[in-house]
Structure 1
Amino acid sequence: MKRIIPYLVLVVCLWGCEDVIDVEVPTTEPRLIVNGVLRVDESQQFIPVEIKVTETTNFFEDNPVTELESAIIFYGQPNPDAPEILENLASSSLAEVNPGTGIYVPDPTFDEDQRISAQIIPGTVFILVVEHKGRTYAARTPYSPVVPIDNIEQGDETLFDEDDTEIKITFTDVKGIDNYYVFDFGFGEFLAADDQFIDGQQFEFSYFYDVDLEPGDEIEVSMMGADLEFFNYMDLLVEQTEDDGGVFETPAATARGNVFDITGLDNILVFDNVNRPEDFPLGYFAVVQERKASLVIE
């Protein structure tokens, strides 16, 4: 009993010291976030265009949707002598069909069809231009095709846990050109890869799911094309989210996308961000071909 009394006194003292601490978190000016990765299925008639816009906010709060003054996608083929200039220029005006969602799609109220054909001419470049709170932002991206998935099958190996599920994916790289790939395994899991060591070869690799998968569950793997810039962006995002340290974790780097502030430029189709290093939104705009393969877990 004598040994217990000191511990009881300590518990009472600690209980009496309990107090509420107000933590001041830094506040910053909201930044526009553009989520515009358009996945193209060339077997379909049109590209499923959806550009979602939100704004950054302070800690502990969800990013709220925001509204654009205008949004338009230009597309065409680069001039061989001046690649920054697009020939055969076409456009698609976007609108927030469902107010309050922050999702912009081809405007159905136009006299002409604003949808974009999924039969894209090789080399086509897309430019997204949006107006937000009096400023103009733009992103430029080439269309990135991708090879088919040759095979997908379930393996029987594990990585760190005996409950891991192995999936084997096989594809054949195109020889003689630099190819970049982004894989979407579902469950918010992505992988960025290049062909540095597999140029022109058929290649098989394994991916291990650490989520609970039961026999009969169906998983779908997406393989997307990418240019070097989109590959680097996705590779950085994957690296930063591998070890989630919570809201107070300092990222290894800022994942800057390809959307620039072009307010006041004479030609909005020719832009850069050299003189505005601090004026940029977050997010990314890309137009990529997507191949899918599904598998039923045994």
Structure 2
Amino acid sequence: MKKVVVIIGAFLIFTSCEDVVDVDLPETEPRLIVDGLLRVDKSQEFIDVRIAMRETSNFFEDNPPTQAESAVIAYGIPNEFGEFDSLAFSSLAEEEPGTGIYVPDPNFSSDQRIRTQSAEPGTVFILQISHRDKSYFAQTEYAPTVPIDNLEQGDDILFNEDETEVIVTLTDNPDHTNFYVFDFGFGNFQALDDRFFMGQQFAFSYFYDNELEPGQQIRVSILGADQDFHNYIDLLVEQTMNNGGVFETPVATVRGNVFDITGLDNIDIFDNVERPNDYALGYFAVVQEFSRNLTIQ
């Protein structure tokens, strides 16, 4: 009899594991996502303008591409009063139908590409998007940077033996406070500022937590940044380092500089001080980039 009770008990335990738990997920209105990081290579004639647009979806689903009614980049140098005496424009069009990738319109009556010579310190770029009867606005100033002095592989470890260390060396510009964003590939970014090494040469280590194979080539880039873009990337990195899982409460909503200005008649309040829930996700930035390649030993 005892054996029968044990068997029945075990059966109940294992069958109970098959119960399906239905979780009521909140229904949220899709939100526009703008990936507008434009990297400027001064050795090229034109800026590689590629802006990806997606929409947020429900939990556990990919964010699908979306189409804008219009997308335009305006750029120029403001005067001492912050006003533009003249602006140049680049009209964007979807590169391929359904991709959500917007590039200078090749079918426009004139060349819509932006020359790299237009990206100079003080140049302000403005992105304007019309999407699902809403208007979005983002403004950024071109951010130059310094080249990478040296990139080499190290042999230290941080947590485990599978890590790969790379050592990056740069020389900071002493003329003003600088902010940097490093792209280590594989979706890995790192924000850095010069508060402790202003005007000096500085070297730091970055550890890849996935094991890299000998002979594998990696590409490391340094990007210019202002303080807002630096803080945005820093918060993104902090969020992605959170191992609490999809149900973990996030540290903060990572909001960028793309604002919903629908119905506003005063562009001076485009930052939505009185409309905290009206915004898009993502960021628009125009930054100088220097890159180096390294072959893993």
Structure 2 CA distance, aligned partners of 1:123 and 1:31?
Answer: 31
Task: Render the CA deviation track for 1:76-122: whole Å, top value 9, x for unaligned.
Answer: 00111x12x22331010000131100111000011110000112222
1:123 & 1:161 partners in 2: Cα distance?
Answer: 45
Separation in structure 1 between the aligned mates of residue 85 and residue 167 of structure 2, nearest angstrom: 42
Structure 2 matches for 1:166-185, cutoff 5 A? 166-185=165-184
Q: Which amino acid aligns with 2:281?
A: L
Residue 236 of structure 1: how far off its partner (Å): 0.3
**Counterpart of 2:33?**
33
Q: Distance in 1 between matches of 2:15 and 2:50?
A: 55
**Aligned with 1:86: secondary structure?**
coil
Say if 1:292 and 1:7 are closer, same or farther in 2 by CA, change over 3 A.
Answer: farther
**Could you tell me the TM-score, scaled by structure 1's length?**
0.94
Cross-structure match for 1:196: 195
Partners of 1:75 and 1:86 within 8 A in 2: no
2:92 is matched with 94
Cα distance change on mapping 1:69 and 1:5 into 2, 3 Å: same
Aligned residues: 295
Output aligned runs, 1:111-126, within 5 Å: 111-119=109-117, 120-126=119-125
1:248-287 correspondence runs (5 A): 248-266=247-265, 271-287=270-286
| Distance change in 2, residues 1:180/1:210 (3 Å) | same
Please state if 1:110 is matched with 2:108. yes
Q: Which runs of 5+ in 2 are unaligned?
A: none
In the TM superposition, 1:1-298 aligns within 5 A as 7-17=6-16, 18-80=18-80, 82-83=81-82, 85-119=83-117, 120-266=119-265, 271-298=270-297
- Percent identity over paired residues: 62
Report the 3-state secondary structure (helix = DSSP H, G, I; strand = E; otherwise coil) of the residue aligned with 1:169: strand
Give the TM-score normalised by structure 2.
Answer: 0.95
1:10-35 deviations in Å (ceiling 9; x for gaps): 22111343322211111111111111
My pick for the range that moved more, 242-251 or 228-237, is 242-251
Give the Cα–Cα distance (whole angstroms) in 2 for the partners of residues 40 and 143 of structure 1. Answer: 9
Cα distance in 2 for partners of 1:25, 1:152 equals 46
Secondary structure at the aligned position of 1:88 is classed as coil
How far, CA to CA, are the matches of 2:175 and 2:187 in structure 1? Answer: 32
Deviation at 1:288, TM superposition (A): 0.5
Q: 1:16 to 1:141 in 2, by over 3 A?
A: same
Name the CA distance, whole Å, in 2 between partners of 1:52 and 1:241: 20
Give 1:6 deviation, angstroms. 5.7
CA distance in 2, matches of 1:241, 1:279: 24
Structure 1 residues not aligned, in runs of 5+ = none
Q: What amino acid sits opposite 2:139 in the alignment?
A: R
Alpha-carbon offset, residue 44 of structure 1: 0.5
Letter in 2 for 1:118: T
For the 8 Å contact 1:55–1:64, the answer to whether it is kept is: yes
Task: Confirm or deny: 8 A CA contact 1:152 1:170 kept in the other structure.
Answer: yes
| Aligned CA distance change for structure 1 residues 262 and 10 (closer, same or farther; 3 Å) | same
3-state SS of paired residue (2:236): helix
SS in 2 for 1:255: coil
2:179 alignment partner AA: Y
The amino acid that maps onto 2:32 is L
Which deviations, in whole Å up to 9, do the C-alpha atoms of 1:209-252 show, x marking residues without a partner? Answer: 12121211111101100001100100000001112333212110
Q: Deviations over 1:101-145 (max 9, x none)?
A: 011100001111000011222210000000011110000000000
